[in-house]
Amino acid sequence: MSLIVDEHRQYLEDQARVSAYREAIGEVVRPGGVVLDLGSGTGILGLLACRAGAGRVYSIEEGGMIGLAREVSRANGFEGRMVFVKGHSTRVDLPEKVDVVVCDQIGRFGFEAGILQVFEDARRRFLKPGGSLIPSRIELAVAPVECPEVWSQVEFWNSCPAGFDFRPARQWAANTGYPVEFAAEQILGDPGTLTFLNLPEATAAPFRGEACVVANKRGTLHGIGGWFTAQLSPSVTMTNSPLSADRIKRRNVFFPIDRPVELAPGDCVRARLRIVPSELIVTWKVEVLEGSQGQNGASPKARFSHSTLRGMLPTKEDLERTQPQFVPKLSSWGKARRSILELCDGNRPLSEIEQEVYRRHADLFRSPGEAAAFVAKVINRYSL
């Protein structure tokens, strides 16, 4: 079975997620309404909208799952009410405005799967005035966490594996956000709200948030945990919080600190985060204050600063290409791609384009079939 299909099986098996969307869609969608499902996958949210009475559902999906979604809609008798559009939602058009936009591109920490970008575009181009978004608001929550298993993965680089010094890699490891499924006992204090994303207004611009959490038990602080709670409709929420009995099956995120800190009840952990959604860059600054120091402005007993920007792996060659004085020129593969785009003039059939690309760039391809596969990748991305 395709691993992509199996991934969607796991989504469908998540009863907390499916039930939350079923209730929210039933509350928001009106009989005869027009619904847009962004990143529709199997089409489950569109199916729920049809069952709730939607007159028409536009399902936009960029990947191959759109083929399965078409078959599923037919199997459930909704073929005439579901319109499938292949592509990324920011690059396609619809013939009409919609009453409701629904999406689950939330990610583990509420923003990193692209919901801010696609909702900002959908509000402007697709949503009727006064229309509804599902979800309408996302709360980003943080808390101090004890997570020795993942923190040991950071410290691994100081252990001289195979007898070699790999310590330079530790900088990257310590500046990475890790997907983790926290247990409730790993949370060392009641979570604090970092910020709210009000989706009818929010953009993909960088944002900041701060939360100060008081430890409610003794433990070892290894970093900051993050998760979300999404307001799907006026009376329905969905969360991956490790403290919720109805958490959905979606992992949380762990932002490590450079060294563990022992916490006692009453210690204050202050987390300041700056997030650049479009680049998936998160900067986290953490201060630990002992007991009542958190209230009187005393110096922290520990202070850390990390950023996924420092956890990226740009090469010397990549950085040189970003300099203003760099003079770029096309590689052989770039020239082949340019040939394809030039040949897509609205007159030539695909077979002719494949033959011409193979003729012009025979040194790149071992066979006409290999050239045809390369042409298909470019045309699927850029042609109409």
pLDDT digits (tens, 9 = 90+) for 125-148: 999 999 999 999 999 999 999 999
User: Does position 254 have pLDDT exceeding 70, yes or no?
Assistant: yes
Please name the amino acid found at residue 346. G
Mean pLDDT of 91-115: 96
327-363 tens-digit pLDDT: 999 999 999 999 999 999 999 999 999 999 999 999 9
Q: What is the mean pLDDT of residues 109-130?
A: 96
Angle at 341 between CA 337 and CA 343, to 5 degrees: 115
C-alpha distances out from residue 53 to 27, 57, 87, 223, 358, Å = 11, 10, 26, 46, 51
CA 307 to chain centre: 18
- 3-class DSSP state of 80: coil
In this prediction, residue 314 carries a pLDDT of 79
Calculate mean pLDDT across residues 101-126. Answer: 96
Q: Give the torsion through C-alpha atoms of 288, 293, 294, 300, to 10 deg.
A: -30
pTM: 0.89
- Give the separation between CA 264 and CA 59, rounded to whole angstroms: 51
Contact 160, 131 (CB under 8 A): no
Print burial letters for 238-277: b (CB count within 10 Å at least 16), e (below 16).
Answer: bbbbbeeeebbebbbbbbbbbebbebeeebbbbbbbebbb
Question: What are the Cα distances from residue 244, in Å, to 191, 239, 241?
Answer: 12, 8, 5
